Amino acid sequence: MAPPIPVGLGMGNALFFVVAISAALYLAYRWALPKPIPGVPYDESARNNILGNLPELVTMLRDTGKTRPFFIRHPQRHQSALTQVWMRPLQKPSLILADFRESQDILLRRTREFDRGTWNTDAFNGVVPNHHISMPSADPRFKGNRELVRDLMTPNFLHEVSVPQIYAKTMALVDLWSLKAELGEGRPFNARRDIFDAAIDIINAAAFGLDDDQSTVKNQLDHLLSKPELRPTPNADGSVMFPELPTLPTIVAIEEIGNHLGEQFKSPFPRLSHRFQMWKSPTLAKSVARKDEFLRDEINKAVVRLRKGESGTRSAMDHILQREMNAAEKAGREPVFHSHRIHDELFGYIVAGHDTSSTALAWMVKNIADHPEAQTKLRSALRAAYSDAYAKGEQPSVVELWKTQVPYLDAVLEESLRCNGPIPVTLREALVNTEVLGHKIPKGTKIFMVSEGPGYQSPPIPVLESARSPSSRDKNLYGSWDPSDMHLFNPERWLKTDEKGNVVYDAQSGPIMAFSLGPRGCFGRRLAYLEVRIVLALLVWNFEFHKLSDGLSSRDSYDSITTNPHRCYVSLTKVT
């Protein structure tokens, strides 16, 4: 019979195991704590939390529905142009850069060191995985995808195909708002839906050449005209609400998918979030199926038209399909019109092209109403630029609107984007070990570059010139804003007098990154500028926008793909 184990020895072993396990857990905890990049400021509370800054972001999202303000406030909190944060557990730190000159340098001249970050590509990956926006530049698919769509932003395509559609759909909006101003007797109404619908009409027409029967704004106008007995319903805040037709099913699907995509930008794990939402939401899955059906139908109709030899390119889809036909003929193969990349490039063109423009226009409408002196100057500048049309009581022509330079129009447009850019944060990722503002940055580090706050609407955070990259020191292309008034809406800051004594618009007057910069900036930047320029000109040409009460003119916003105003109301008087 074995001798009994002494009680003291058994307790000693147990104590040893408890101590060993506790030590191992403590060491694992210490190992899991965030590891900062030396010399870059950070929050001590985040440094001592396995979750890093994630709890603060989650709290902000829960309380405000936004996360983007975090990236603007963090550098201000530390009064440092470069700070570091931990967005997820067990990850390297990410950087926040609040300095325009260094951001511009990274986006324009350091493209071999930095590329689109995985956070951005992950956000788009669930909805349009085969669109070039979802790909890093080194992806073997990227070059072919960009080749497929590269001509969609050329001046010829924009002026011959896109601009006529922008003009026609904007005039439908002018007609709708003229009727609403009359029926509502000038009382305020919610303009956000109309702006959304007009922007989706414009991008759908440019993408597919859709006719008026699929125009939401035109259908809404016809609905109000066909029922003269309909009257707007007054609200307690002094605004009125107009009866609306049900939204077309395809537009509902596009809107739901766009909203879903916007949610991915607020998620720390966008790929997982997308899969979960697709499993959880039957309506989202149905919207994706409806979107796919819509794309198939429109492509099939276009293929029939192209094979009949009908001349002319009337849409982005026609152009893309013609490119595929040419490539297939050259390669001796059958064309593949329903490839994932064609479907995703077309849908990405719609979603990205619509959301940025509609958001920019919503803020512009609010800004011109809030600043009547700028609105009056703009209307006078337009009447002077299009003097023949004004004298005849007509609308400026399509060609006049894109061809005639109106410096004050560009100044108002750019100032609105400076004050309320659609996307206030641009993300890149370090491809190699490198430096930012004198700090060693390891490969794989994400860097969030803000385009609001310091340097844009508030005084810049000082940076030692010696800490900048050599190319940043040598090639500073832009001016800077006067700290005494950079918080104000002032279009004149974009104007200067040239050597001939003419007042001209200067795009490089000071810091702005409304659509990012460089080769991986917003692909649809040219289309967006053309659209908002034409829409803004025609709206101010036709209407006086009245200043509203504080409640209706609230500047509160929410995050989606872009940063949108919660409230966008207008009170209009038709001008002659």
Structure letter (DSSP) for residue 162: I
Check whether residue 309 and residue 387 sit in a common domain. yes
Mean pLDDT of 198-207: 91
| Count of Cβ atoms closer than 10 Å to residue 157 Cβ | 19
Banded model confidence at residue 451, pLDDT cuts 50, 70, 90: very high
184 lies in some domain: yes
Check whether residue 407 and residue 454 sit in a common domain. no
- Integer CA distances (angstroms), 563 to 59, 158, 555, 560, in order: 19, 26, 11, 6
The rounded mean pLDDT for the chain is 89
- Strand, helix or coil at 495? strand
CB 149 within 8 A of CB 321: no
Tokens of 47: 């440094």
Check whether residue 119 and residue 244 sit in a common domain. no
Banded model confidence at residue 449, pLDDT cuts 50, 70, 90: very high
Which residue, of 441, 474, 507, is where some domain finishes? Answer: 474
Q: What is the 3-state secondary structure (H, E, C) of 456-474?
A: CCECCCCCCHHHCCHHHHH
Check whether residue 218 and residue 76 sit in a common domain. no
13 lies in some domain: no
Give the pLDDT confidence of 156-180 residue by residue, as tens digits. Answer: 989 988 999 999 999 999 999 999 9
Amino acid, res. 533: R
491 lies in some domain: no
Identify the residue with better confidence: 306 or 48.
48
- The Cα–Cα gap between 235 and 232 comes to 9
Tokens of 505: 């618009």
Banded model confidence at residue 25, pLDDT cuts 50, 70, 90: low
Q: 448: which strand partners?
A: 96, 427
- The Cα–Cα gap between 331 and 342 comes to 18
Check whether residue 90 and residue 110 sit in a common domain. yes
CB 461 within 8 A of CB 454: yes
Identify the residue with better confidence: 27 or 378.
378
- The Cα–Cα gap between 22 and 440 comes to 35
Check whether residue 86 and residue 186 sit in a common domain. no
φ, ψ of residue 476 to 5 degrees: the values are -95, 100
Identify the residue with better confidence: 304 or 312.
304
Packing angle, helices 68-78 and 54-64, rounded to 10: 130
481 lies in some domain: no
pLDDT > 90? residue 214? no
Mean pLDDT of 25-33: 66
256 lies in some domain: yes
Check whether residue 100 and residue 162 sit in a common domain. no
Q: Is 419 annotated as a binding residue?
A: no
Mean pLDDT of 383-402: 95
450 lies in some domain: yes
Split into its structural domains, the chain has a count of 2
- Strand, helix or coil at 100? helix
Domain CATH for 264: 1.10.630.10
Check whether residue 419 and residue 447 sit in a common domain. no
CB 248 within 8 A of CB 214: yes
Give DSSP secondary structure letters for 395-459. Answer: PPPHHHHHHS--HHHHHHHHHHHHHS-S--EEEEEESSSEEETTEEE-TT-EEEEE-SSBTTTBP
Give DSSP secondary structure letters for 254-320. Answer: HHHHHHHHHHHTT-SSHHHHHHHHHHH-HHHHHHHHHHHHHHHHHHHHHHHHHHTT--S--SHHHHH
Check whether residue 560 and residue 452 sit in a common domain. no
516 lies in some domain: no
pLDDT > 80? residue 142? yes
479 lies in some domain: no
Which pLDDT does position 351 carry in this prediction? 83
Mean pLDDT of 137-149: 90
Identify the residue with better confidence: 28 or 443.
443
Check whether residue 187 and residue 314 sit in a common domain. yes
539: exposed, middle or buried (Cβ count in 10 Å: 0-12, 13-18, 19+)? buried
φ, ψ of residue 349 to 5 degrees: the values are -60, -40
Give the pLDDT confidence of 74-84 residue by residue, as tens digits. Answer: 999 999 999 99
Give the pLDDT confidence of 418-448 residue by residue, as tens digits. Answer: 999 888 889 999 999 999 999 999 999 999 9
Check whether residue 465 and residue 387 sit in a common domain. no
Alpha helices of 150-266 — where are they, by DSSP H?
Answer: 155-157, 163-183, 192-208, 216-226, 249-264
Give the contacts of 226 (CB within 8 A, at least 6 positions apart): none
What is the residue range of 102's domain? 44-127+426-474
Which pLDDT does position 226 carry in this prediction? 87
Give the pLDDT confidence of 244-282 residue by residue, as tens digits. Answer: 888 888 888 888 988 888 888 877 788 888 888 888 888
Which pLDDT does position 544 carry in this prediction? 97
Which pLDDT does position 262 carry in this prediction? 83
Which pLDDT does position 26 carry in this prediction? 61
Banded model confidence at residue 312, pLDDT cuts 50, 70, 90: low
* DSSP helix, strand, coil percent of the chain (3-state; round to 5): 55, 10, 35
Check whether residue 399 and residue 467 sit in a common domain. no
Give the pLDDT confidence of 503-526 residue by residue, as tens digits. Answer: 999 999 999 998 888 888 888 889
Name the residue among 230, 275, 562 with its Cα closest to residue 420.
Answer: 562
- Least confident range from 28-32, 59-63, 348-352, 363-367: namely 28-32
Which pLDDT does position 445 carry in this prediction? 95
